[in-house]
Chains A and B, each alone.
Chain A
């Protein structure tokens, strides 16, 4: 059993989860993920690592409540425990001195982007951070990013913070901010990663995305996490989850993620209003 040290909502619908898992904390690297099961009936749910404390033996993830499993996670309290927490899985994000790197984060990916930004800074890069969200109240950890970035740029759809609009304005924002990135790394929802890749392709700037397909084992055994990258079949859990965003077959990826949508509605109904009456 794995002890929950902390579980709190940091911005609407996004939760911070801190789990005691000393061996995982020792081994965690930027870009990795863990797989948790909220209870004995639960799905194996992959979550990126957003932070770790090797001394205290804890790992932190930020998760968004979307369906049944994440709803179960959102109900956990400090002192509770989970039957499973496995990891760290996936290849590490490649860290070297690339020069100038733009880190783009949205949603739970703001969390998982943080260790990436730290490592890039430590490797000697000039790091710029761009956080994207529907509204200012969905952005978080700006102070943390400020410590390792030249600048933290905000983009909100309603214009309540930073630039108004979304990532499709990237080229223009880069010009205004006078940033010429040698590499762009995106962590976040599929749409953010896809959109960013689409706008950076004509710029010719290499763009790394941290893919989030449906998974089960996370160890390369089941093949459900497969996607097409540069025309080849790849397994996100062992070949990734980082890939070159310009090489990903996004259309196929989006469709594959929908596979269980009809079924996933069920737990929502179970936990929704109808069950109170």
Chain B
């Protein structure tokens, strides 16, 4: 008898909105075993699974889901880890609705399978069971690889090359590993204990990690080249963009990087236990509409703001953030000002931000990207009282390495130029991947780039 198709996704338990805006604990609580098995049972186990094609690292989705149905959780996590070194992270932060879940066949008539939540379930089960399996490591090859940056791209390459028997050293500029996972994405969305666990796991494979080490400054790429057989650059994005409107240097105006780094990396939300201060303003405007903007806005709420606005110049359907996080932000009371353009920040005589001047927009003709271009409505200026503004409109790649590495080809926007398939740069024995190549993208695409580069580096080293 044909299987009865269940079109209804199992909801994941969450902290109640009124509770969670008062703490920094994780919002989503994860599936219970029963919920996970119910949700897993919805999967049709497609012979030619679209979902896997939608995943940048091609996780064997029907495979691991079947393991959940069978109650073989250890088998399930093993299957995921064949291609994805950070399932606890990806299950939480991948934009699944644009990747694996977007193409799930069930999505045509009902809800797609909650692939991300199931992935997270297995990763959390493994951590809770304490039985993390270490895969076999190939015999030492005697080859040494230096990795610049400990974000998802760097960690993936370290993982893959360590398993192949190479000696891997990661250099990280900050005092904690994890890249954006540590300094950018807040605790309530991705607990730092999870990032630590994943980094510790990679270290358990024999990978060495030096923090407080700024490649290009502490040691140049060329000096590292004397000590290593290959180098992988995964320095991520840096240099935050500002809107270039008047008043952006007023006190109370932050880049999202500053705001989130103060809170996450420096633990400003626990000031004065931790020494780094963070302001607790009452009216906050956040510029932008991506994950970074959602994170900044929700952080501001948790720091006690009365009113937090997301000021976005397009409309809701164009928000680039993960749908789930937009919903979370709405539930928590973030106010969305769509089709609104910030034009000026005003301050008092002491240099403190007091208000924001905006212009209303309407949707005009479609632009090159096919999205209807927002155009200002004349005379629609209005003023919003704010005592903090957070700019979350993107950033360009970190400039330190291009500035100090002659011959390394750099694109117009400062990104390192690397082959799309292999990550190979213009310089011999140097690869690059992740945000430093593509500009701000996603965790999983950075990992995908790392995976491909690791393959190519291994091939190169094997021939050497």
Contact = CB atoms under 8 A, between A and B. Distances in A.
Interface in B263-301: 266-267, 271-277, 279
Nearest to B242: A233
B109 interface: no
Given A27-B219, A86-B212, A219-B238, A266 B173 contact: no
Contacts of A26: 219
Given A86-B212, A221-B261, A43 B276 contact: yes
Interface string B1-20: 00000000000000000000
Nearest to A233: B242
Interface stretch (A100-108, A190-198, A222-230): A222-230
A257 to B, nearest CB: 9
A85 interface: yes
B255 A88 contact: no
B400 interface: yes
A255 B352 CA distance: 8
B227 to A, nearest CB: 12
B contact patch SS: loop
B219 A86 contact: no
Interface in A212-250: 216-217, 219-224, 226-228, 233, 235, 238
B399 A238 contact: yes
A37 interface: yes
Contacts of A42: 275
Nearest to A255: B351
* Of listed B174, B212, B214, B403, residue having the most chain A CB within 10 A: B212
Interface in B224-278: 238-240, 242, 248-249, 251-252, 254-255, 257-258, 261-262, 266-267, 271-277
Contacts of B249: 226-228, 233, 252, 256
A86 B266 CA distance: 16
A68 interface: yes
Interface in A25-69: 26-27, 35, 37, 41-44, 68-69
Contacts of B272: 263, 266-267, 270
Contacts of A84: 175, 211-212
Given A43-B275, A83-B175, A263-B271, A220 B400 contact: yes
B275 A267 contact: yes
Contacts of B125: none
A264 interface: yes
A264 B258 contact: no
Interface in B59-78: none
* Of listed A26, A219, A226, A259, residue having the most chain B CB within 10 A: A219
Say which size band chain A's interface belongs to: 35 or more
Nearest to B267: A41
A69 B266 CA distance: 13
A65 to B, nearest CB: 14
* Of listed B211, B251, B276, residue having the most chain A CB within 10 A: B276
B298 to A, nearest CB: 19
Given A27-B217, A86-B214, A87-B217, A256 B351 contact: yes
Given A86-B212, A223-B255, A223-B258, A235 B174 contact: no
Given A223-B255, A238-B399, A87 B248 contact: no
Contact of A255 (B350, B398, B400): B350
A68 B249 CA distance: 25
Contacts of A72: 275
B249 to A, nearest CB: 5
A68 B251 contact: no
Contacts of A264: 277
A59 to B, nearest CB: 11
Contacts of B350: 255, 258
Nearest to B395: A221
Contacts of B400: 219-220, 238
Contacts of B239: 220-221, 223, 235, 238
B369 interface: no
Contacts of B201: none
A89 interface: yes
Contacts of B238: 219-221
A266 B276 CA distance: 11
B175 A222 contact: no
Interface in A115-132: none
B395 to A, nearest CB: 8
A23 B266 contact: no
A24 interface: yes
Contacts of A277: none
Given A23-B219, A43-B266, A223 B242 contact: yes
Contacts of B262: 216
Interface in B310-364: 350-351
B218 interface: yes
Contacts of B175: 37, 44, 83-84, 86
Given A27-B218, A252-B351, A216 B261 contact: yes
Contacts of B267: 41
B213 interface: yes
Nearest to A237: B400
A263 B277 contact: yes
29 contacts: A23-B219, A41-B267, A41-B275, A43-B275, A43-B276, A44-B266, A44-B276, A72-B275, A86-B218, A88-B218, A216-B261, A216-B266, A219-B174, A219-B398, A219-B400, A221-B238, A221-B261, A223-B257, A224-B255, A233-B242, A233-B249, A235-B239, A255-B251, A255-B351, A258-B351, A259-B252, A264-B277, A266-B272, A270-B272
Given A37-B175, A267-B275, 16 more contacts: A26-B219, A41-B274, A69-B275, A84-B175, A84-B211, A85-B212, A88-B217, A216-B261, A217-B261, A221-B183, A221-B240, A223-B257, A255-B251, A259-B252, A263-B271, A263-B277
Top 6 A-B residue pairs of the complex, sorted by shortest distance between their CB atoms: A255-B351, A263-B277, A223-B255, A86-B212, A222-B258, A223-B240
